């Protein structure tokens, strides 16, 4: 039996992870995948109970497990705390402690929700891309980093640093992912200006030789940003460093519509993965059964795919979500303008997905 640690966190976190857990239980039973859940604290919930947003015993528990399902952390109750001890530190702490170097953010348009995008439906219909972002290196972590206030003019410095091994391992993640998709990788860079990007070009080309069936393209980050809104359908897998990936993954996600639909995965060497919805703890709707659990449920599908290599089971969840949306079921956040239909709550959305899974 493989252990999945559930870290519900704060706000709507416990509501959405509860639905994801129900769905995982059912789909794993149907596909003969033996799993057991263990729940632990993170974020504000952990501060309240243990005085710290992340404790060593929780890190150890996660390390000894197959995968982690996380809800969200944070909320007004803890907003006045010093930055170093706030709930968000729990999230950064667990990513660092587990060495989660690869962040995977799919951006997919469900045809029933194509109208939710700020772009025209004919531009977004059929978008299905995956942004693979390096998460533990680059300019966010590079040394030296400082503000120099000693002279007459203040200056600040950050360093963008990557070694070839960091580039190669994230590139392999992207190519492996493309193998199960449309066999296309776009490497996003700024090699006309940055030496770091020139090294990325070299290493990405070297790694690509091991994947002869997968097509590789290089795209400057500025033109990639334009193409994402002009012709988003052309992208399959995008691979890039921490800074560019941070920005492009949010841009790609937002052209698809609602925050409540976006899953993510962060993966360590050896396959341990942390799966979480992109949205936050939504304190404005917490505890009212209003949250959309589909991002958390789709994060469960990513878990089955990446930590269990259970592609059929993952596909079953995605098909069930598709069918639920096609049937017109909506939580409040994904009701389209002009749609005159009653909304359902978080638990009922979970029920509808389970119903569909029973039919598959
Ligand atoms: P948020 O994502 O929590 O909410 C933004 C808006 O989207 C809100 O109106 C909310 O009601 C809505 N929303 C978000 N998820 C939804 C869902 N599943 N269903 C329906 N509606 C949904 O972002 P925020 O308001 O900027 O942040 C709130 C708290 O969450 C803050 O404390 C912030 O630090 C934290 N946060 C945590 C994470 C994380 O845990 N990964 C990410 C972002 C923000």
pLDDT tens, position by position, 69-81: 999 999 999 999 9
Query: Looking at the 3D structure of the chain, how many domains does it have?
Result: 2
Q: What was the pLDDT predicted at 221?
A: 98
Is 275 in the same domain as 215?
Answer: no
Q: Is residue 117 part of a domain?
A: yes
Q: 75: which 2 tokens?
A: 């909320």
Same domain (yes/no): 116, 136: no
Say what the pLDDT of residue 133 is.
Answer: 97
Residues 153 and 292 in one domain: no
Quick one: pLDDT at residue 360?
A: 57
Both 306 and 219 in a single domain? no
∠ at Cα 190 (184, 195), nearest 5°?
A: 115
The answer to whether the beta carbons of residues 46 and 75 sit under 8 Å apart is no
Q: Which 3-state string (H, E, C) describes 114-133? A: HHHCCCCHHHHCCCEEEEEE
Q: What is the CATH number of the domain that holds 145?
A: 3.40.50.2300
Give the C-alpha separation, 351 to 360, whole Å.
Answer: 15
Residue 223 scores a pLDDT above 60: yes
Q: What percent of the chain has pLDDT over 90?
A: 85
Average pLDDT over residues 312-340: 92
Of the residues 241, 276, 303, which one is the last residue of a structural domain?
241
Q: Is residue 251 part of a domain?
A: no
With a 6 Å cutoff on the Cβ, whether 259 touches ligand 1 is yes
Please indicate, yes or no, whether the overall pTM of this predicted structure exceeds 0.85: yes
For residue 346, give the ligand 1 atom closest to its CA: 19
DSSP state of 335: P
| Domain presence at residue 157 | yes
pLDDT value for 203: 98
Whether residue 310 contacts residue 351, with contact meaning beta carbons closer than 8 Å, is answered with no
Verify whether ligand 1 is closer than 6 Å to residue 344 (CB atom): no
CB contact set of 338 (below 8 Å; sequence gap of 6+): none
84 pLDDT tier (thresholds 50, 70, 90): confident
Whether 229 and 115 map to the same domain: the answer is no
Give the SS3 label for residue 288: coil
CATH number of the domain to which 294 belongs: 3.40.718.10
Tell me whether residue 246 is in a domain.
no
Domain containing 214 equals 130-241
CA nearest 262: which of 293, 224, 231, 291?
A: 293
**205 and 345 fall within a common domain:** no
Question: With 80 as the cut, is the pLDDT of residue 337 above it?
Answer: no
Per the domain annotation, does 345 fall within a domain? yes
pLDDT band at 111 (very low <50, low <70, confident <90, very high): confident
> Which is the closest atom of ligand 1 to the Cα of 91?
40
Please tell me whether residues 214 and 92 are part of one structural domain. Answer: no
Q: Is the CB of 281 under 6 A from ligand 1?
A: yes
Mean pLDDT value of segment 162-191: 97
Q: Classify 80 as helix, strand or coil.
A: coil
The answer to whether residues 164 and 232 belong to one domain is yes
């Amino acid at each position: 039996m493989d252990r999945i640690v559930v870290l519900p966190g704060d706000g709507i976190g416990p509501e959405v992870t509860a639905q994801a857990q129900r769905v995982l239980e059912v789909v794993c039973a149907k596909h003969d995948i033996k799993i057991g859940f263990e729940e632990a604290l993170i974020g504000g919930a952990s501060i309240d109970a243990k005085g710290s947003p992340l404790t060593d015993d929780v890190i150890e528990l996660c390390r000894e497990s197959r995968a982690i399902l996380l809800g969200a952390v944070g909320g007004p109750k803890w907003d006045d705390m010093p930055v170093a001890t706030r709930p968000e530190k729990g999230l950064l702490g667990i990513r660092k402690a587990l060495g989660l170097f690869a962040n995977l953010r799919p951006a997919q348009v469900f045809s029933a929700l194509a109208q939710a995008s700020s772009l025209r439906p004919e531009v977004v219909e059929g978008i299905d891309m995956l942004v693979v972002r390096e998460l533990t290196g680059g300019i966010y972590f590079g040394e030296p980093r400082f503000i120099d206030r000693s002279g007459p003019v203040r200056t600040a410095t950050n360093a963008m640093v990557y070694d070839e091994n960091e580039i190669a391992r994230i590139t392999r993640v992207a190519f492996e992912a493309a193998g199960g998709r449309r066999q296309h990788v776009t490497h996003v860079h700024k090699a006309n200006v940055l030496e770091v990007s020139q090294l990325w070009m070299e290493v990405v080309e070297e790694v690509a030789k091991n994947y002869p069936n997968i097509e590789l393209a290089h795209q400057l980050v500025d033109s990639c940003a334009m193409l994402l809104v002009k012709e988003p359908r052309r992208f399959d897998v995008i691979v890039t460093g921490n800074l560019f990936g941070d920005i492009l993954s949010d841009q790609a996600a937002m052209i698809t519509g609602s925050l409540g639909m976006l899953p993510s995965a962060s993966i360590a060497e050896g396959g341990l993965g942390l799966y979480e919805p992109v949205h936050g703890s939504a304190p404005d709707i917490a505890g009212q059964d209003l949250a959309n659990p589909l991002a958390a449920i789709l994060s469960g599908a990513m878990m089955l795919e990446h930590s269990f290599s259970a592609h059929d089971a993952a596909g079953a969840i995605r098909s069930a979500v598709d069918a639920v949306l096609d049937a017109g079921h909506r939580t409040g956040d994904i009701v389209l303008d002009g749609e005159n239909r009653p909304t359902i709550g978080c638990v009922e959305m979970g029920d509808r997905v389970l119903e569909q899974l029973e039919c598959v």
